[in-house]
Amino acid sequence: MRLRRALRLGRKKAEPAAWLVVGLGNPGEQYSRNRHNTGIWTVNELARRLGVKLKAEGRSIRIGYGEIAGERVALVRPRTYVNESGRAVDQALRACGAELE
């Protein structure tokens, strides 16, 4: 069903990323300055420096692609709480065509 939906929407399979950088943190203004959001801050800063725009991919993540030292990198900012981040990381792996080694 997902494949059919992707084809219907005209989506192309992304070129696999060599690296997946996931910035864990908790969503919401009340957590924005919490030290547990260091991962989110890091991904935001990498995106800024690389000129990468993070776009919504489904409900669980924002993702953008860039290049570091000649390697394709996927920058991911989950839209889930840290303790629910496994679902977001799984979605990110599928979105960027990455495989676990």
Return phi, psi of residue 2, to 5°.
-65, -40
Pick the catalytic residue: 11, 36, 53, 55? 36
Token pair for residue 39?
């991962």
User: What is the distance between the alpha carbons of residues 63 and 60, in angstroms, rounded to a whole number?
Assistant: 10
56 is catalytic: no
Which residues of 1-101 form beta strands (DSSP E)? 19-22, 55-57, 61-68, 71-78
* Active site residues per annotation: 36
